[in-house]
Amino acid sequence: MLRGTKIGLRARHDDDIPVLLAELYNDVVNSARADGGPWRPLPPGTKDSRLAVDESEPAHVSFSVVELEGGALLGTATLWGIDTHNRAAHIGLGLLPSCRGKGYGTDVVAAMCVYGFTVRGLNRLQIETLVDNHAMLRAAENNGFVREGLTRSSAWVMGQFMDEVVLGQLAEEWKPKG
């Protein structure tokens, strides 16, 4: 397990999937804000790639986020779009509603930076988030990510187009915490 200050990143367990399905992916608004495609209901036992880990997909690494003290499931984190030639990837995360606002997001981003820069040897990490996702913007910026741009009306969310903020960090800029 990769450890942050308060969280751990570990492999996805089968018993994580029903919790993530119920609390993240079957919430229409949350799913619409987090995913690049339209929401669709997922049945129990789904093999949907957002939940089930596909070891044959090298450009995508999924983690379950757990609390270090007690091991409770907090959410999911993903390193996706891994480009081994250009040594770049994107970070995504989703915390269960009951786990938001407690500083876990900042710790998840920090742990994902350790994974991306130290474990994988990447040169660039990028985060894209909706312009009104202040928690993710704060988590990224608290970890040294820089706002690089705005993609106007690039996300269709619950009947309207929204802007997305692009944040990036290079390995040479990264300062590990602790």
Q: For the segment 88-127, what is each residue's pLDDT rounded down to a tens digit?
A: 999 999 999 999 999 999 999 999 999 999 999 999 999 9
Q: For the segment 9-58, what is each residue's pLDDT rounded down to a tens digit?
A: 999 998 999 999 989 888 899 888 888 788 888 777 777 767 777 777 88
Q: Is 7 part of any domain?
A: yes
Number of domains in the chain: 1
Q: Which domain holds residue 47?
A: 2-123
Cβ atoms of 94 and 23 within 8 Å: the answer is no
Residue 139: exposed, middle, or buried by beta-carbon count in 10 A (0-12, 13-18, 19+)? buried
Q: Is 138 part of any domain?
A: no
What CATH number is given to the structural domain containing 50? 3.40.630.30
pTM of the model: 0.94
**Which H helix or E strand runs over 43?**
none
